[in-house]
Amino acid sequence: MDPVLVIGSGLAAYTLAREFRKLDRQTPLLLVSRDAADFYSKPMLSNALAGKKTALSLVMKSCDKMAAELNATVLAHSSVDSIDTQAHSITTAQGQTHRYRDLVLALGADATRPPLQGEGAEAVVSVNDLNDYAHFSDALAGAKTVAILGAGLIGCEFANDMLSRGIVPTVIDLAQHPLSRLLPQQASVYLRGRLEAVGVQFRFDVVADRVDRSGAGFAIALSDGAILQADLVLSAIGLRPRVALAQGCGIAVNRGVAVDRMLATSARNVYAIGDCAEVEGLNLPYVLPLMQQARALAATLCGTPSAVLYPAMPVVVKTPACPTVVCPPAAGAQGQWSVESTTEACEAHFVGSDGTLLGFALLGAATAKRQSLLAQVPALLAAD
């Protein structure tokens, strides 16, 4: 019997495998991974320093333990070169061919690299997986200052986390405020104030143009002509879904691998989930969407076709200096933000013209209202 074959071993891949095994213990299950395929939680990478975590201690279960737990075959360090959707097979870089009954692309996303000039540009680090974190953690040895490119979710989380190591982070962004894509301006200003109060520094309305080596550290030339000195430069400007493998075999892609509500791609018996998947135009690189996808797809693969449902799904920003929960309104939603803030809390509501609550942002003590507000927000993708 040909297996259900999953390309990937990240949180999306292993969550799907677990959900599948709850429903089917017999069908062969094969996971193919380009890395060591150990199980860890990628979202923990951006707050691991405060917990004094090493790359090794972040591993929750080894590849072998996951294979045994799932009654699966897990091929580590095995990159997939090509997919033959007609023959229902994949070919690895090692020249092995594996057939599949159903194929699931859980490819993840790559860190976006900034277009930097300078002979130090290649030394700019990003943290997108466990190996990256190991390299980053080693590079931090002895560092006192770090320049972070990007004031989005990951940039702010890393900045807050570095304070636990006595490192002064300077966050650089072209926007005027942190988390500018998630928060209304007044809430962004509140977050900035709370992070600055504990030692995070910001440089807004500028980008880094070039990075050059300067002694044991780096000189970062900014677009306003200023030069910033730092011991290390971390890029956190976003993620780009991995679509090359799908595109190479003729599967339709947009920003991500294009899938319908059944998570099916344009190729028969091929599906996509997680950071690489774009579900009816929505590419949501967060934990809660992939959990919804995994449950739905597991049922489909076990013979019960199930469309993915997206309830209102809050994003938790791991900035202990300013606890933050955001439930963004749907793209294109019509409405207005209203914001109230005090010293202890900031609460923002995105309300439609008919008075419906379409999204919210809660900072500081206001995060206690998360559940009560969540119940009021309509689903992103509801049942038909």
Same domain, 28 and 99: yes
Same domain, 71 and 97: yes
Same domain, 243 and 101: yes
- Residue 312: inside a domain, yes or no? no
Type of residue numbered 89: S
Could you tell me where the DSSP H helices lie in 302-366? Answer: none
Segment 138-179, tens digit of pLDDT? 999 999 999 999 999 999 999 999 999 999 999 999 999 999
Same domain, 46 and 79: yes
Could you tell me where the DSSP H helices lie in the chain? Answer: 11-23, 55-58, 63-70, 130-139, 153-162, 185-197, 244-248, 287-301, 370-374
Type of residue numbered 277: A
Instruction: Classify burial at 375, counting beta carbons within 10 Å of its beta carbon; exposed 0-12, middle 13-18, buried 19 or more.
Output: exposed
- Residue 316: inside a domain, yes or no? no
Residue ending a domain, choose from 189, 205, 235: 235
- Residue 383: inside a domain, yes or no? no
Same domain, 78 and 145: no
273: domain CATH number is 3.50.50.60
- Residue 379: inside a domain, yes or no? no
Is 235 in contact with 124 (CB distance < 8 Å)?
yes
Pairing of β 232-235 and β 145-149 = parallel
Residue 384 has pLDDT above 80, yes or no: no
Which whole number is the average pLDDT over 368-376? 97
Predicted confidence at residue 382, as pLDDT, reads 87
Residue with tokens 């190479």: 248
Pairing of β 345-351 and β 336-341 = antiparallel
Same domain, 124 and 160: yes
Same domain, 134 and 219: yes
Predicted confidence at residue 383, as pLDDT, reads 83
- Residue 381: inside a domain, yes or no? no
DSSP state of 267: S
Which whole number is the average pLDDT over 98-115? 97
Mean pLDDT of the chain: 97
- What the block records as the tokens of 142 is 């002895």
Q: How far is CA 67 from the centre of its chain?
A: 24
Cα 175 to Cα 95, 120, 207, 324: the distances in Å are 46, 24, 9, 19
Residue ending a domain, choose from 217, 235, 253: 235
Which whole number is the average pLDDT over 363-380? 96
Segment 17-41, tens digit of pLDDT? 999 999 999 999 999 999 999 999 9
Which whole number is the average pLDDT over 243-250? 97
- What the block records as the tokens of 96 is 């092995």
Number of domains in the chain: 3
Same domain, 8 and 77: yes
**186 CB-near residues (< 8 Å, 6+ apart):** 337, 339, 341, 346, 348
Type of residue numbered 145: T
Predicted confidence at residue 362, as pLDDT, reads 98
Residue 135 has pLDDT above 90, yes or no: yes
Q: How confident is the model at residue 240 (pLDDT cuts 50, 70, 90)?
A: very high
Domain that holds residue 63: 4-110+239-301
- Residue 83: inside a domain, yes or no? yes
Predicted confidence at residue 307, as pLDDT, reads 97
**What pTM does this model have?**
0.96
Residue ending a domain, choose from 269, 301, 333: 301
Segment 318-369, tens digit of pLDDT? 999 999 999 999 988 999 999 999 999 999 999 999 999 999 999 999 999 9
Q: How many helices (H) and strands (E) does the chain have?
A: 9, 24
Is 177 in contact with 188 (CB distance < 8 Å)?
yes
Q: How far is CA 167 from the centre of its chain?
A: 24
Using a CB cutoff of 8 Å and minimum separation of 24, what contacts does 331-338 make?
Answer: 331/281, 331/282, 333/358, 333/359, 335/359, 337/184, 337/186
Is 231 in contact with 218 (CB distance < 8 Å)?
yes
> Quick check: helix, strand or coil at residue 330?
coil
Residue with tokens 């540009």: 121
Predicted confidence at residue 153, as pLDDT, reads 96
Residue 2's φ and ψ, nearest 5 degrees, are -70, 145
Cα 11 to Cα 78, 132, 275: the distances in Å are 18, 16, 10
Same domain, 340 and 356: yes
Q: State the DSSP H helix or E strand holding residue 191, giving kind and residue range, or none if neither.
A: helix 185-197
Same domain, 81 and 17: yes
Percent of the chain with pLDDT over 70: 100
Residue 294 has pLDDT above 90, yes or no: yes
Which whole number is the average pLDDT over 171-199? 97
Same domain, 79 and 224: no
Same domain, 104 and 118: no
